[in-house]
Structure 1
């Protein structure tokens, strides 16, 4: 009798394990299909994604060249040649993984998206395993299915943005910390500390995860007990050691980051922190951006159900929700991307009735149908969304590489990051210098008018700049989007001055700013031999000015760059 009971228990355990593994496989397969939409389309794009693409290429070039004795100079000189990096402003962990994929599959956008997918998979597995431990694998399957089909989540797999990587690292860290609270095994806490640190090296906002863990420990009444444990202080020391370099870099090169977080800069403190508008802003964004209406309604119903049931299992994910709200309500930056961390919690709330009704056959079936129906509706909604795209930038870069007489191109474009990326991605020799009008004619931070400095005032000044650098080819978007006078003067000068229009490329785009635009490629007919040995780049986003020596024909640095 005892043996029969043991055999039944083993069989049940095996069936449960198989069901869980099959569920993960189905979720990952479905997530991959949604994530790799238009994987071969090099025109897909989003503001900032171009910088992260370029960061990955930079790290790959760095690893190949391995200038270990001149790291700083190499970085400065590289930025001078390809001024579309965000290293320093953004942490490098995701670009590092991106670089590995670029190294294996080539420098292209689809290999960078595969790097992002690898993060996403880890996050989905971590979330599934976490909810499986708190509830069961069926609830985990339902909650994860709703998560991967939520349009706001699905769309970030189409661009090389840090949202899904940092969310995934946060969920992985959260799973490991929860295992520590379950088992009290120090190993889980050490791993949680390591993954938490890597999450911060993915995006600085991951530091808020400390709130998640702290709030849960406080609610559970274990906070003071944890603070007495040796492994907690060892983990804290690990985190401190791993994050001190990131903190130093952020303080050194993070003028914009600091302005977006603590609001040290005038003009960034848009909402008083204790104002009603600020306190409710992310709740409004939750409805407007983060959740579909059926998911929002179902998540509210599930939260009420949990309250009625007095379900203490919900405390850990609820702590994540509270921590997200508190931290991102405090931050000055209010982009809807930032509090992405709480979306999994609402997906869980929506599936809780499935767990509570598991002994009610009819109710369970109806709830299962409702969740599958919602997942189908969200999938349909995902495919109704047109990914952001802008054509022509890769073609313009290739045209320049095929027709340049000297390896110096001057660009004036709102979408300058993608132009710069393609100039490097399509040039295996790394031969061309990209000069940006919004660094040399003017400079600003994030938007064209923020911390604006105008460096050239007249047409004569433009001519002098082109002569100093020996510019040959020039690429401009036909319409100036900056609204700054000198950029329009530049376009007028191209039409009426000593320039030949070589090619016009029509831009097709889903982004309103890039619609009704052409990429115009001009040759400067009065090109002079370059007299300037340095490129002077003002970088308000990090609060620095750098002077970059121009390479000689052998592609070696002749001098060292400087920073002011």
Structure 2
């Protein structure tokens, strides 16, 4: 009964904190990070795929879907989150809110998993403090309040760690199988969490030595895990070359892995990822834990976790702070342990409360999630004006936001989108990695838009107009073929790329049925023909 009560209490507290984070989360199609609407759109594709069941030509179905909604990246990312989201879309409809709800269900599972993991070594209140700190850490809360894969992957990962720790404590081999299975599921959500497999191997090897290789179950676990990862490996090698390139080397790396700056880069992110109060306590905890390491049953796991993870992420040339959120688990744990170990009961409780409040303050007041609003309003205008089965041309930085908001309008599933950058440029994944301008004149572009059935254009003024091809596009939009019908502001809580979107109507002789068009998919190095 006492154990059940503790589960209920931990769950209730986590729900209350997550409700506050939900209230702070941008919704209503107000996406910021470019991947977020793409994740939401990928889930919509899976929903439609499972509904239509195009077994005769699934690849053709995916290409046609991309031609209609050219922000689809279904094969570029691990797909598990999309399959988990699909039933929710089927029940409640495709929307930003539903996609975010699925992320928050993972968020709750992540927090509860952190509490359960900490209970292996900590008293009930410090364990709950650890769970609250993990859901409130600024970097984790930044991505957990968006339709992103970090927190869903973390949820699988932390429960994998629970199973692994319980296997070590009790020797039940079934828990080792469960730990491996949950780690595989985590990798099908975000592939970089795979470094934890090396952590498990290092811990077991340290404890069991050569006996590790003589146990058939260990070989079986490894074989089953590798077998389960085969589809993900094939998909990544075939369609995720941009991800492979980010490991091998990118031209716009924040810091080269061949430099000292590259190896210190993730350490320098930790103050903003955790907040200074928690980080200072964590440093104190590491010093104290090092002195007592022989008597701490968790030391080997957390040290291996941080060291292996730090080496892994530092070796990846593309540096982003969100990549290393998986390193924060052992750091936060050591901080909470240090408070429990150093301070008397009442003082310790007060210190833990202070850590939670200070971390929550940093997250809720100083690290809100950026947003850019207005895209849903633009889609409302297009849905009201555009003829049936027509095409909308979009030119702007946040194409994913516009395209997902359009897909969410079930009453206008007849509309398709063309992207101006696809017509006028060849971009190697993102502009920083290289761009080639296509020699399309204003007259040719105007005729092309007529041929493709483009009745309306949505344009971000000044988008990439340092390129001559995009300047030609804007001159065409200012010419007699197009007339402005609306300007929609795009309010944001940060300095965004855009301040408004312009809707224009094509007054030319628009073809009622678009002609075949070749679209280059640089991310997967393919060209498709849209009929």
Q: Corresponding residue for 1:431?
A: 414
CA positional deviation for 1:428:
3.6
Q: Corresponding residue for 1:262?
A: 248
SS in 1 for 2:55: coil
Q: Does residue 105 of structure 1 match 2:89?
A: no
Q: Does residue 521 of structure 1 match 2:521?
A: no
Contact 2:489–2:501 (CA under 8 A) maintained in structure 1: yes
Given the alignment, which residue of 487, 495, 499 partners 1:512? 495
Q: Corresponding residue for 1:326?
A: 311
SS in 2 for 1:337: helix
Given the alignment, which residue of 447, 460, 473 partners 2:443? 460
Unaligned runs of 5+ in 2: none
In 1: Cα distance, 2:253 partner to 2:215 partner: 40
Q: Corresponding residue for 2:232?
A: 246
CA positional deviation for 1:476:
0.3
SS in 1 for 2:393: strand
CA positional deviation for 1:314:
2.4
Distance 1:317 1:36, change over 3 A: farther
Distance 1:434 1:270, change over 3 A: same
Given the alignment, which residue of 158, 163, 168 partners 1:171? 158
Alignment of 1:101-180 (within 5 A): 101-180=88-167
Post-superposition Cα deviations, 1:346-384, rounded to whole Å, max 9, x if no partner, equal 211111133324xx6xx2322221221121122222221
Distance 1:217 1:262, change over 3 A: farther
Post-superposition Cα deviations, 1:102-127, rounded to whole Å, max 9, x if no partner, equal 22222111111110011122222222
Alignment of 1:186-225 (within 5 A): 186-218=173-205, 220-225=206-211
SS in 2 for 1:180: helix
Contact 2:277–2:358 (CA under 8 A) maintained in structure 1: no
CA positional deviation for 1:70:
1.8
In 1: Cα distance, 2:432 partner to 2:114 partner: 41
Q: Corresponding residue for 1:368?
A: 349
Q: Does residue 25 of structure 1 match 2:5?
A: no
Q: Corresponding residue for 1:483?
A: 466
Given the alignment, which residue of 45, 52, 55 partners 1:65? 52
Q: Corresponding residue for 1:410?
A: 393
Given the alignment, which residue of 285, 303, 306 partners 2:269? 285
Contact 2:488–2:502 (CA under 8 A) maintained in structure 1: yes
Distance 1:261 1:352, change over 3 A: same
CA positional deviation for 1:271:
4.5
In 2: Cα distance, 1:270 partner to 1:509 partner: 26
SS in 2 for 1:133: coil
Given the alignment, which residue of 229, 237, 243 partners 2:215? 229
Q: Corresponding residue for 2:477?
A: 494
Distance 1:40 1:391, change over 3 A: closer
SS in 2 for 1:514: coil
Q: Corresponding residue for 1:400?
A: 382
CA positional deviation for 1:16:
5.5
SS in 1 for 2:326: helix
CA positional deviation for 1:405:
2.4
Contact 1:401–1:427 (CA under 8 A) maintained in structure 2: no
In 1: Cα distance, 2:21 partner to 2:514 partner: 49
TM-score normalized by the length of structure 2: 0.94
Q: Corresponding residue for 2:525?
A: 543
CA positional deviation for 1:505:
0.8
In 2: Cα distance, 1:482 partner to 1:260 partner: 27
Distance 1:198 1:136, change over 3 A: same
In 2: Cα distance, 1:274 partner to 1:364 partner: 47
SS in 2 for 1:172: helix
CA positional deviation for 1:38:
4.4
TM-score normalized by the length of structure 1: 0.88
In 2: Cα distance, 1:28 partner to 1:440 partner: 47
Corresponding residue pairs, total:
527
In 2: Cα distance, 1:321 partner to 1:225 partner: 25
SS in 2 for 1:79: helix
Contact 1:404–1:472 (CA under 8 A) maintained in structure 2: yes
SS in 2 for 1:431: coil
Contact 1:215–1:323 (CA under 8 A) maintained in structure 2: no
Post-superposition Cα deviations, 1:405-434, rounded to whole Å, max 9, x if no partner, equal 252111101111111011110134521110
Post-superposition Cα deviations, 1:382-418, rounded to whole Å, max 9, x if no partner, equal 2213331212111111211211125211110111111
Higher deviation after alignment, 380-389 or 90-99 = 380-389
In 1: Cα distance, 2:252 partner to 2:368 partner: 31
In 2: Cα distance, 1:19 partner to 1:244 partner: 40
CA positional deviation for 1:328:
0.2
In 2: Cα distance, 1:393 partner to 1:460 partner: 29
Q: Corresponding residue for 1:559?
A: none
Distance 1:408 1:352, change over 3 A: same
In 1: Cα distance, 2:34 partner to 2:170 partner: 43
CA positional deviation for 1:270:
6.3
Contact 1:39–1:110 (CA under 8 A) maintained in structure 2: no
Q: Corresponding residue for 2:257?
A: 273
In 1: Cα distance, 2:512 partner to 2:258 partner: 56
Post-superposition Cα deviations, 1:66-118, rounded to whole Å, max 9, x if no partner, equal 21232111111101110111111111111111222222222111111110011
In 2: Cα distance, 1:298 partner to 1:270 partner: 28
In 1: Cα distance, 2:56 partner to 2:166 partner: 42
CA positional deviation for 1:545:
2.0
How well do the aligned residues superpose, as a CA RMSD in angstroms?
2.1
